[in-house]
């Protein structure tokens, strides 16, 4: 396996040298450009799991001739890695599960300005205001509920309704999970620290069952350990793909409710990238038709580019009216969120 890789790298290197000799056309990248990057290779740090995005990367390689060396890992750990590597990072592109990790790397000045044409495709809520990262797909916070125990009508319109004592012993979530923490940070940003503390204390008073991550939470709902779990919307589909039919439905919060945060998975190009053109091709691809269709159909997420619709039945992003927060700033407000979670005893 290693040998094949070595030969592949050598071949790629030879091709690159060969092409460089043919002269540079300096064409701007775009979806319809000919494969002038063929033979180039990119190192991608991917915080998104191989299971879910591996096929998309492979499709990109086939379509463009650009080789991807993908390093999979946890988004935050990869962000920490890039921050330690600094200007010596071998990575060209960082693909992350959440906006927070991208914001943290951008804050260190390690992400380059992205092509304006690509930025403009993406809904403003789902990209960096400085143009250093771009969202690839959207993920909504929902209350996943057990359909054997509850109907949609039993559930409160606002997430604040779950502090009612009637929910004692019936709810659960994953407080160490970054998407839950981002939701708390978002709530601090829109509702203020006191209201958020009151909400969290209300949850704690209801004796929630705490899980390690979102998929365990959904499995807890499916098994009837809890009736309602606060998770991202697509976990119900992920768990069903693995476990078969599960009695779980998503309850969306709408109308700008603090429970309605929609976060973005996204990508950025490193300032140290040795091939920013090929890296731009990758971002172009991921925000283009192939990428957006893939995220809608294969990972059950919200496309973030106009003209593409979710493939599963999801409440429209416009109805959710996600609270107005700059997702890049969430990384900066996470510290108070962690403090608050610790203060009320959830961490």
Residues contributing to the site for another protein (CB under 8 A): 1, 5, 43, 49-52, 69-74, 76-77, 79-81, 83-86, 88-90, 100-101, 104, 176, 178, 181, 209-215, 220, 223-225, 235, 238-239, 242-244, 331, 334-335, 337-338, 342, 347
Judged by CB, which is closer to another protein: 118, or 299? Answer: 299
CB of 306 to another protein, least distance (A): 29
- Nearest approach in angstroms of CB 90 to another protein is 7
Output 118 or 231, the one with its CB closest to another protein.
231
Helices within 176-252 (DSSP H only): 178-191, 193-205, 214-223, 235-243
Say if CB 43 and CB 90 are below 8 A apart. yes
Burial class (CB in 10 A: 0-12, 13-18, 19+), 185: buried
Q: CB nearer to another protein: give 118 or 340.
A: 340
**Rounded to an integer, what distance in angstroms lies between the CA atom of residue 334 and that of residue 108?**
16
SS3 assignment, position 213: coil
Please state the closest distance from residue 149 (CB atom) to another protein, in A: 13
User: Shortest distance, CB of residue 338 to another protein, whole angstroms?
Assistant: 5
- H helix runs in 71-230, sequence order: 75-85, 99-107, 116-121, 178-191, 193-205, 214-223
Q: How far is the CB of 247 from another protein (least distance, A)?
A: 13
Backbone angles phi, psi at 81, to 5 degrees: -60, -50
* Type and span of the H or E element at 129: none
Nearer to another protein, 72 or 249 (CB): 72
d(CA 160, CA 110): 38
- CB 342 to another protein: min, Å: 6
Select 137 or 178, whichever has its Cβ closest to another protein. Answer: 178
Q: Find tokens 């976990």 and name the residue.
A: 235
Q: Which is nearer to another protein, 5 or 168 (CB)?
A: 5
Nearest to 52 by CA among 297, 317, 312: 297
């Amino acid at each position: 396996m290693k040998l094949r890789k070595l030969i592949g790298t050598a071949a790629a290197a030879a091709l690159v040298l060969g092409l460089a000799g043919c002269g540079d056309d300096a064409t701007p990248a775009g979806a319809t450009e000919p494969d002038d990057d063929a033979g180039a290779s990119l190192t991608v740090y991917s915080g998104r799991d191989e299971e879910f995005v591996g096929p998309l990367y492979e499709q990109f390689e086939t379509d463009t001739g650009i080789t991807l060396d993908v390093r999979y890992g946890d988004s935050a750990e990869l962000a920490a890695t890039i921050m330690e590597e600094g200007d010596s990072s071998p990575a060209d592109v960082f693909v992350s599960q959440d906006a927070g990790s991208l914001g943290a790397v951008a804050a260190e000045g390690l992400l380059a300005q992205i092509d304006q044409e690509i930025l403009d495709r993406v809904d403003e809520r789902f990209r960096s205001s400085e143009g250093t990262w771009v969202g690839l797909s959207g993920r909504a916070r929902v209350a996943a509920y057990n359909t054997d125990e509850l109907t949609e009508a039993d559930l409160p319109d606002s997430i604040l309704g779950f502090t009612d004592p009637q929910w004692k012993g019936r709810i659960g979530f994953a407080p160490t999970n970054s998407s839950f923490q981002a939701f708390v940070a978002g709530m601090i940003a829109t509702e203020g620290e006191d209201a958020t503390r009151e909400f969290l204390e209300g949850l704690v008073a209801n004796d929630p069952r705490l899980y390690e991550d979102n998929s365990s939470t959904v499995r807890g709902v499916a098994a009837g350990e809890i009736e309602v779990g606060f998770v991202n919307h697509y976990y119900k589909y992920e768990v069903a793909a693995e476990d078969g039919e599960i009695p779980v439905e998503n309850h969306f919060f709408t109308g700008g409710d603090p429970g309605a945060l929609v976060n973005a998975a996204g990508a950025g190009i490193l300032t140290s990238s040795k091939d920013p053109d090929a890296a731009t091709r990758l971002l172009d691809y991921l925000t283009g038709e192939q990428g957006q269709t893939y995220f809608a159909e294969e990972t059950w997420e919200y496309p973030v580019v106009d003209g593409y619709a979710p493939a599963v039945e999801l409440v429209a992003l416009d109805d959710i009216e996600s609270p107005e927060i700059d997702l890049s700033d969430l990384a900066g407000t996470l510290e108070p969120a962690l403090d608050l979670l610790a203060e009320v005893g959830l961490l």
